[in-house]
């Protein structure tokens, strides 16, 4: 990555993850198999949880969340969908939803079965 690359964008992150997939030929070596990716994402989510439950420093938490984000972006590469477009479409819907306090914590949902 050159120093002039704007790293503060989804397109830059997507290009980096695509380059990672290409470097190891994930497409032809099982790295883009969806069941395998679900297992990897679960593994990283567990590492995120461990940071919280074991009170690890925020640097450790940020690294594990980055691992998960890289896998999520890679899953968009693997399944061939536009995560940037999906993000904004879903964000617009979430912003329209109502919130409720449930057991002392806020929940944002459609609350279909009120």
Residues in the chain: 114
Does 67 help bind Mg ion (rule: CB under 5 A)?
yes
Query: What is the smallest separation between the CB atom of 43 and Mg ion, expressed in angstroms?
Result: 7
Q: Which one, 20 or 84, has the nearer CB to Mg ion?
A: 20
Query: What is the smallest separation between the CB atom of 74 and Mg ion, expressed in angstroms?
Result: 14
Site string for Mg ion, 20-49 (x = CB under 5 A): ---------------------------x--
């Amino acid at each position: 990555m050159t120093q002039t690359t704007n790293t503060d964008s989804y397109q830059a992150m997507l290009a980096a993850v695509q380059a990672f997939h290409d470097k190891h030929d994930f497409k032809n070596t099982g790295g883009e198999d969806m069941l395998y990716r679900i297992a990897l994402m679960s593994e990283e989510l567990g590492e995120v949880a461990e940071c919280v439950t074991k009170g690890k420093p925020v640097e450790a938490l940020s690294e594990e969340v980055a691992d998960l984000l890289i896998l999520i972006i890679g899953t968009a590469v693997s399944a061939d969908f536009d995560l940037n477009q999906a993000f904004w479409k879903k964000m617009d819907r979430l912003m329209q939803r109502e919130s409720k306090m449930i057991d002392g914590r806020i929940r944002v949902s459609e609350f279909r079965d009120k």
